[in-house]
Homo-oligomer: A and B are copies of this chain.
């Protein structure tokens, strides 16, 4: 999957260079305001004492870990602050591969490409389980491929790119499958605040040594650049993950941790609710337009991506470019996410112009 990064940047650059106005739905960068308390936290840090500018504890600010432990109802020892969910996933995968037998990583197809690339970096084998037509993952399909070779099952829910929300049953079954094969289930819950189905279930509630949960404030607080995430680790992975984290990054940025802590403490539920409302509106507008355009699509239950397939217009790179040039809408080719949705296009609804993009697509395909 080494080619995905160039592909991603290639599409963004192509859209930037286009000779016309283009609605950018390529990246997963929120376009809405971060919580006020996050900006206030950074402002306050600007005047913080010198000591606050120095190394925070390698495992993260004590108050931030306490807050997250209470929020997720886990022992504080299990909380490791990381450089975004990216490092949390990296650590969970690297340490999971070392601690568990087998060398295989089970991933979904379509897949968030970073998982696949990390598996490759870590020298692991990958097995893909295709999701169903609605983007749902069938645990039985995972069970069918799992074996003594399996070290990791990595899945994201709410899901990027399908928008599926795996409910409690699915997550408990994935945890059971991991336990049966001495593997680790890594549950990436970075889109937890973007659940429109009411079915979101956090794997933190599963009492198992075979589950690690990753998360971040990146999406929930519209600040993918802050780089404050965390891993909630089973006991046997705490020391290895802390050591690897320390020897990779030493610590996570102090201003970001202070700002995230303040924002986590002070941001009212309204903020998240308003974000969901905004995205629901975009999803409705966009899906209605896809309907009008006669496209196949899955209405997301969570997160903020829509996968769509247009008849006679497979989601190749060439067609992605054609859509940029001829319709003024930039998405991501489905092939970036594996084979199962290679004919589809992914649109990220992180632009106030989602309605406009929808209209353009309806006009173009209608």
Give chain A's interface residues, CB within 8 Å of chain B: 2, 5, 27, 29-34, 39-40, 42-43, 45-47, 50-56, 58, 83-84, 86-87, 90, 114, 117-118, 121, 222-227, 243-244, 246-256, 259
Contacts and interface: CB of A to CB of B under 8 A. Distances in A.
Contacts of A117: 243, 246-247
Contact of A54 (B5, B46, B223, B256): B223
A248 B86 contact: yes
A225 B52 contact: yes
Contact of A5 (B33, B51, B246, B252): B246
A181 B340 CA distance: 47
**What is the copy number of this chain in the assembly?**
2
Contacts of A256: 253, 255-256
Main secondary structure of the interface of A (DSSP, over half): helix
Given A29-B55, A121-B243, A246-B5, A251 B222 contact: no
A200 B56 CA distance: 30
Given A84-B250, A248-B248, A50 B222 contact: yes
A256 B259 CA distance: 12
- A2, A27, A54 — most chain B CB neighbours (10 Å): A54
Given A84-B249, A249-B84, A253-B256, A50 B27 contact: no
7 contacts: A2-B243, A27-B54, A39-B47, A42-B42, A53-B224, A86-B248, A86-B251
Q: Which of A31, A252, A253 is packed against the most chain B CB atoms within 10 Å?
A: A253
A90 B248 contact: yes
